Amino acid sequence: MQTIIISSPLVSHRLSLALPVPRSPLINYHHGAPPSIRLSSHRFTNSLRLFSSAAAAAAASRDSEMATEDVQDPRIAKIAASIRVIPDFPKPGIMFQDITTLLLDTEAFKDTIALFVDRYKGKDISVVAGVEARGFIFGPPIALAIGAKFVPMRKPKKLPGKVISEEYSLEYGTDKIEMHVGAVEPGERAIIIDDLIATGGTLAAAIRLLERVGVKIVECACVIELPELKGKEKLGETPLFVLVSSA
Amino acid sequence: MADENEVKDPRIDGIKTKIRVVPDFPKKGIMFQDITTLLLDPKAFKDTIDLFVERYRDMNISVVAGIEARGFIFGPSIALAIGAKFVPLRKPKKLPGEIIFEEYELEYGSDRLEMHVEAVDSGDRALVVDDLIATGGTLSAAMNLLRRVGAEVVECACVIELPELKGRERLEGKPLYVLVEYR
């Protein structure tokens, strides 16, 4: 895939610095639909990518669905701008996507929830599963607004009573995700929420866990995607919906 | 309490019956108050949030601070409904960037609660939210964090209180509002 990388100065992570955010529209072709504008907008990062249209068309079939069909929803830019990127956390080389600054912006947080609710309301979804811990911040407001139950998917030993668990790989070693037995029933339609998809390991484990008990996962929904980590590929048949793609 | 001397709000009983008590978790002798069953009932969950929102919407609260992790389940919905910011108070090493921390006692040893320094400042009126108050150690640490950056803690709000553990007394005179007591 051809890419053109434009560098801008690496800037400090401090919230109080307001530097101009370099932005360019990306022309993206979705499955033969009219071209849509995709804003890859992020604060304090050190690169931008512009995809050639041919490359974009090739990539379109692999792209997660962005929160746009035609012109980008005007709420997206503000949401993207409210996310703080912290370099070298939790370790050197990682650009951490910090959503806590989004939560401090009452309009941006409200819009974030509204975008998910607009998408999932009236679609007969009875389960919103949220991955500990940042999935607990976004999942319940969505569940409440669409009339679904909220099911927390937790690290080991946090849930009392009978649980089922699913193991998944980490960079070094493995971890487990757990859910209560009886929280969901076969045939229920679910969405899985987390703040961000990186490698997709956690979400893939959450999908497996729900599928084991006969639940249909309609979609995985995240605020942020890190597309270079190709997390979408781990989700198999399950579609992914994100608001902001941070390249 | 959510009923004081008046007739109890009819939604309270519905909420109470949805809370599952799991004996001997995480260890023998503890009757664990499991709110996950409440979250499985959309009406009861909505009633829970509504009761808090009705109380706080006119109190000029600018910050809802939620304690990881079950405070994250209740806090944000309240914050959204009353137009306040949501600030997560987290276990160590989870928050990136500049933080302050407050230590608190556990039965054996201690733990820490952390907050982003720039999230809250003087002039903010804060509500602290968790699913349950037991000894009050965590809530007290939360209040200290907020006070240290100059915020005013207006109240602590929990779904459940275990009154025998006297957590209320550790809140240094700040009011506590709960929906359900478990004795």
d(CA A101, CA A73) in angstroms, rounded, equals 20
Contact residues on chain A for B49, CB-CB shorter than 8 A: 144
Clarify whether A65 is annotated catalytic: no
Query: ipTM of this complex > 0.85?
Result: yes
d(CA A43, CA A49) in angstroms, rounded, equals 14
CA A163 to chain centroid, in Å, comes to 26
User: What is the pLDDT, as a whole number, of residue B2?
Assistant: 56
pLDDT in tens, chain B (183 residues): 554 556 789 999 999 999 999 999 999 999 999 999 999 999 999 999 999 999 999 999 999 999 999 999 999 999 999 999 999 999 999 999 999 999 999 878 899 999 999 999 999 999 999 999 999 999 999 999 999 999 999 999 999 999 999 999 999 999 999 999 998
Residue B130, domain member (yes or no): yes
Domain range for B138: 59-181
Which pair of tokens denotes residue A107? 């309009």
User: What is the pLDDT, as a whole number, of residue B37?
Assistant: 98
At A95, is the secondary structure helix, strand, or coil? Answer: strand
With cut-offs at 50, 70 and 90, classify the pLDDT of residue A67: low
What's the domain count of chain B? 1
CA B63 to chain centroid, in Å, comes to 13
Residue B18, domain member (yes or no): no
- Residue among A137, A149, A160 whose CB faces B42 most closely: A149
Identify the closest residue of chain B to A140 by CA–CA distance.
Answer: B73
User: What is the pLDDT, as a whole number, of residue B107?
Assistant: 79
User: What is the pLDDT, as a whole number, of residue A99?
Assistant: 98
Q: Give the residue from B157, B165, B152, B166 showing the smallest Cα distance to B56.
A: B157
Residue B168, domain member (yes or no): yes
Residue B157, domain member (yes or no): yes
The CATH number given to whatever domain includes residue B96 is 3.40.50.2020
Contacts of residue B160, defined as CB under 8 A and 6 or more positions apart, other chains included, come to B19, B33, B35, B131, B132, B133, B178, B179, B180, B181, B182
Between A22 and B87, residue with greater pLDDT: B87
> Could you give the percent of chain B with pLDDT greater than 90?
92
With cut-offs at 50, 70 and 90, classify the pLDDT of residue A23: very low
- Residue among B77, B83, B85 whose CB faces A104 most closely: B85
Q: Judge whether residue A61 has pLDDT over 80.
A: no
Between A180 and A7, residue with greater pLDDT: A180
Torsion sign, CA atoms A156, A99, B96, B85: negative
**If you average pLDDT over residues A22-50, what whole number do you get?**
36
User: What is the pLDDT, as a whole number, of residue B147?
Assistant: 96
- pTM recorded for the entire structure: 0.84
How close does chain B come to A229, measured CA to CA in Å? 21
Residue B81, domain member (yes or no): yes
- Does the beta carbon of B77 lie under 8 angstroms from any beta carbon of chain A? yes
Identify the closest residue of chain B to A148 by CA–CA distance.
Answer: B42
d(CA B147, CA B107) in angstroms, rounded, equals 25
User: What is the pLDDT, as a whole number, of residue B1?
Assistant: 57
Q: How many CB pairs under 8 A join A and B?
A: 111
Q: Judge whether residue A56 has pLDDT over 80.
A: no
Dump the DSSP string for chain B: --STTSPPPTHHHHHHHHPEEEET-SSTT-EEEETHHHHT-HHHHHHHHHHHHHHHTTTT--EEEEETTTHHHHHHHHHHHHT-EEEEEBSTT-S-SSEEEEEEE-SSSEEEEEEEGGG--TT-EEEEEEEEESSSHHHHHHHHHHHHTT-EEEEEEEEEE-GGG-GGGGGTT--EEEEEE--
Residue B134, domain member (yes or no): yes
CA A76 to chain centroid, in Å, comes to 13
DSSP state, residue A228: G
CB contact under 8 A, B36 and A90: no
> Could you give the percent of chain A with pLDDT greater than 70?
72
Q: Judge whether residue A10 has pLDDT over 80.
A: no
Residue B22, domain member (yes or no): no
Residue B64, domain member (yes or no): yes
**B118-133 per-position pLDDT tens digit:** 999 999 999 999 999 9
At A178, is the secondary structure helix, strand, or coil? Answer: strand
Active-site annotation of B, residues: 70, 107
User: What is the pLDDT, as a whole number, of residue A71?
Assistant: 73
**If you average pLDDT over residues A122-127, what whole number do you get?**
98
- Most B CBs within 10 A among A144, A157, A177, A181, hence the mutation to make, goes to A144
Contact residues on chain B for A86, CB-CB shorter than 8 A: 96-97
User: What is the pLDDT, as a whole number, of residue A176?
Assistant: 97
CA end-to-end distance (rounded Å), chain B:
14
